[in-house]
Amino acid sequence: MLIELVCFLLVMVAGTAGELCIARAMKTVGEVTDFRPRQLMAVAWRTVKVPWMWTGLGLMALAFFALLAVLAVENVSFVVPVTALSYAVGALGGKVFLHEQVTRTRWTGVLLVCVGVTLVLIGKRWG
């Protein structure tokens, strides 16, 4: 039970934290305005030199392996709360870690997405 709880937290927190780190890396690189292949390669080169990118990729890999581990012992119903909650955790992370202004309107949208994702996953399981 404890291992499953740890994996649950790892999937949700490490997955979202990984994306937040990638967001911070991309903000460090700066806004991409030129989408020609050569320019995109230059952006990719600048991106791999930002440590936040590697931290993000590492955390996402950790979340992926935690998901595999938990799916080996638990059934897929585990995916429902993790996926739905990750949107709320993501908005909170954006506010705290990236200092984004998550207004009441944005929170409302995020919570609607959480409810919608829960229904889609529950419907898929019961269907």
Partner 1 sequence: MKSFSHSHFKTYVVILLIVIFGPVGNFLLGKGMKGLGMTLSWKPSELVRFIAFALRSETIWMGIGSLIIFFVSYSLILSWADYSYVQPASAFAYGTAALLGHFMLGEIVNAVQWAGIMIICLGVFVVGRTPLRTTEPN
Place of tokens 């390669």: 41
Distance of closest approach, residue 1 Cβ to partner 1, in angstroms: 23
**Stretches 2-10, 74-82, 96-104: which one binds partner 1 (CB under 8 A)?**
96-104
Q: Which of 19, 50, 63, 82 binds partner 1 (CB under 8 A)?
A: 19
| φ/ψ of residue 16, rounded to 5 | -70, -40
Which residues in the 104-123 window bind partner 1 by CB under 8 A? 105-106, 108-123
Distance of closest approach, residue 120 Cβ to partner 1, in angstroms: 4
**Radius of gyration of the chain from its Cα atoms, rounded to whole angstroms:** 17
Q: Quick check: 62 binds partner 1 (CB under 8 A)?
A: no
Give CA separation, 54 vs 47, 51, 86, 90, 94, in Å: 9, 5, 21, 19, 19
